[in-house]
Amino acid sequence: MIKNIGWLTTLGLLPLLGALVIAALSPKSVAAAKRIAFGTTLAVAATAIAMAVKFQIDNVDFQFVEVHSWIPSFGINYAVGVDGIALVLILLSVLLAPVVVLAGWNESHGGRWSAKTFYILLLVLETMMIGVFSATDVFLFYVFFEAMLVPVYFLIGGYGTGKRSAAAVKFLIYSLFGGLLMLAAIIGLYVLSGKQGGHTFDINALSHLKMSSTTENFLFLGFFIAFAIKAPLWPFHTWLPDAAESATPGTSVLLLGVLDKVGTFGMIRYCLTLFPHATRTFTPVILVLAVISIIYGAFLAIGQTDFKRLIAFTSISHFGFITMGIFAMTTQGNSGATLYMFNHGFSTAALFLVAGWMASRRGSSKIADFGGLQRVTPMMAWAFFIAGMSSLALPGLSSFVSEFLVLVGTYTRYPVAAVVGSFGIVLASLYVLIPVQRALHGPTTPGNESLPDLNLREKFAIAPVLAVIIFLGFYPSPLLKVINPAAAHTIAQVGFTDPAPRIAQVGK
């Protein structure tokens, strides 16, 4: 039926193919499963980079578009395509996947099920991630959005530590609740589109719908709450620390680094473009929530005693920044937020992977159990330190560019939010330096004397991540060039233009 398979479909099918190969292996061939999984993720990453090279930067329409009829009676299509924002997030997903496989080479051991299952789940998840970012049909997006929960649920519940079952159930139910609201809103859109020239789920067509402001507000909220849970935004955040604490480090990287981005990505792609008026109505409330997230997440991070929970709370603070940038409605804010999503993925990956190695060596992820690691394991300490510096947005590292763009972009339109939010940068220094001091500095505490330093595999896993963090800190242009047109297009769609400098306003 499908004669020519496009780039995005190929990209999505590759991991599935890998999963099928692994499924055909005998249960005992663990090593082969790992190698195939790693090879598959590498191949996907290479394909994605090849695709990104062909991306036309100046074109603001969706590219690599494929449309095939799926359920014609409801107007549902298999429709995929990417703009700059989606492309960057797909790149993030496919680049992190091989890192996660390599870094967590032994994560699948000791799980409830076999290592084979672990890698099958991981690869299926990769397909879902690619799908969710490239879908241009709202129904297709919804399917990926919900189906993505399944592999994550099993990854947390089957291979995690501690209260993994409870955490997995909390994650699943919380996300499903949001998904349900979104489903209701999608059905609402569908009904509206039926009244205005034919049922469709096409995002471009839906963005031209006319609706009363009440309807628009309700539909907006349906989408927004789902995304706010996913992102997560205060006060919908409490599933994240539990999930991150229980999941394996690799799963946590994908969870915090990629899956949560679906929330912020959804805000840009669906909330902003489908409901521009409601966006304007709710912006003040959302900015308040975003600023609360920044400050609240930072304070909570300072108060944590467990590395994994700490990193989860830092992410809540960072997602506050991203949301603030999105709803600042300036190109700087929007581009900065998208770049922030990419950079946060890498810096959190670095933090979580190193914290995971520390925890697996020490048998505990309590900060108090560590001490003086810089003497014992200098490489690991350096990796953690650089990742931490990236988390606190040190200039010269990638997060700085995005965080500053978000702040500048927000300030030009909403100065108060930007000023209050920027207190997060002071708190960030505390939540990074306090664990650095406790775990890396000071005398080596009992139980840490003979921890081994990073091995070759771990060095190969972390080095590219840190290299990306440093490189993009000095030269973010390649990504910004891809993001800028899409961000500007989004802002224009909502009907905003960047505020002119105040001196120019006086001139008028």
Partner 1 sequence: MTSTAVVYTSNSLVYLIALPLFGAAVLLLAGRRSDRWGHLLATALSAGSFGIGLYQLSQMLGHSNDQRVVTQKLFSWISVGTFNVDAGLTLDQLSICFVLLITGVGTLIHIYSIAYMSHDLDRRRFFAYLNFFIAAMLLLVLGDSYLNLYVGWEGVGLASYLLIGFWNQKPTYATAAKKAFVANRVGDLGLSLAIMITFATMGTVSFAGVQEHVGQASTGALTAIGIMLLIAATGKSAQFPLQAWLGDAMAGPTPVSALIHAATMVTAGVYLIVRSNFIFNAAPAAQLAVAIIGAITLLFGAIIGMAKDDIKKALAASTMSQIGYMVLGAGLGPAGYAFAIMHLLTHGFFKAGMFLGAGSVMHGMDDEVNMRRYGGLRKFMPITFATFGLGYLAIIGVPPFAGFYSKDKIIEIAFNSGGTKGWILGTAALLGAGITAFYMTRVVILTFAGNKRWDEKAHPHESPFLMWAPMVLLAIGSVASGFLFTHGNSLRNWLAPVVEPQLVHQSELLSPAVVSILALLLVLVGVGIAVVKYLRREVPEVAPENVSVFTKIARRDLLQDDFNEAVFMRPGQALTRALVTADNAVVDGAVRGVGRLTVGTGNALRETQTGFVRSYALWILIGAVGLIAAIWVVAQ
Q: Is residue 503 at the binding interface for partner 1, with CB under 8 A as the rule?
A: yes
Please, what is the minimum distance in Å from the beta carbon of residue 247 to partner 1?
18
Residue ranges in 148-177 that form contacts with partner 1 under rule CB under 8 A: 170, 173-174
319 in Cβ contact with 446 (< 8 Å):
no
SS3 25: coil
Residue ranges in 275-314 that form contacts with partner 1 under rule CB under 8 A: 296, 299-300, 302-304
CB atoms within 10 A of CB 313: 24
State the number of binding residues for partner 1 (CB under 8 A): 71
Per-residue x/- mask for partner 1, residues 43 to 72, rule CB under 8 A? ------------------------------
Q: Residue type at 116?
A: K
Q: How far apart are CA 21 and CA 40, in angstroms?
A: 10
Q: Is residue 492 at the binding interface for partner 1, with CB under 8 A as the rule?
A: no
Q: Which of 106, 238, 457, 478 binds partner 1 (CB under 8 A)?
A: 238
Q: How far apart are CA 75 and CA 186, in angstroms?
A: 13
Q: First-to-last CA distance in the chain?
A: 60
Residue ranges in 325-344 that form contacts with partner 1 under rule CB under 8 A: 330-332, 335-336
Token pair of 19 as six digits: 């999963």
Please, what is the minimum distance in Å from the beta carbon of residue 121 to partner 1?
25
Stretch of residues binding partner 1 (CB under 8 A), selected from 36-44, 249-257, 343-351, 408-416: 408-416
Please, what is the minimum distance in Å from the beta carbon of residue 501 to partner 1?
3
CA nearest to 481, candidates 87, 73, 196 = 87
Q: Which of 291, 462, 487, 494 binds partner 1 (CB under 8 A)?
A: 487
Q: Is residue 74 at the binding interface for partner 1, with CB under 8 A as the rule?
A: no
Q: Which of 110, 194, 197, 235 binds partner 1 (CB under 8 A)?
A: 235
Residue ranges in 172-211 that form contacts with partner 1 under rule CB under 8 A: 173-174
Nearer to partner 1, 320 or 476 (CB): 476
Q: Exposure pattern of 387-400 as b/e (b: 16+ CB <10 Å)?
A: bbbbbbbbeebbbb
Angstrom CA distances, 101 to 38, 79, 383, 388, stand at: 6, 30, 18, 22
Angstrom CA distances, 319 to 47, 201, 313, stand at: 29, 28, 10
Angstrom CA distances, 344 to 254, 320, 401, stand at: 12, 12, 11
Per-residue x/- mask for partner 1, residues 358 to 397, rule CB under 8 A? --------------x-xx-------------x----xxx-
Q: Is residue 401 at the binding interface for partner 1, with CB under 8 A as the rule?
A: yes
Stretch of residues binding partner 1 (CB under 8 A), selected from 140-148, 285-293, 361-369, 432-440: 432-440
Angstrom CA distances, 421 to 95, 166, 292, stand at: 30, 33, 8
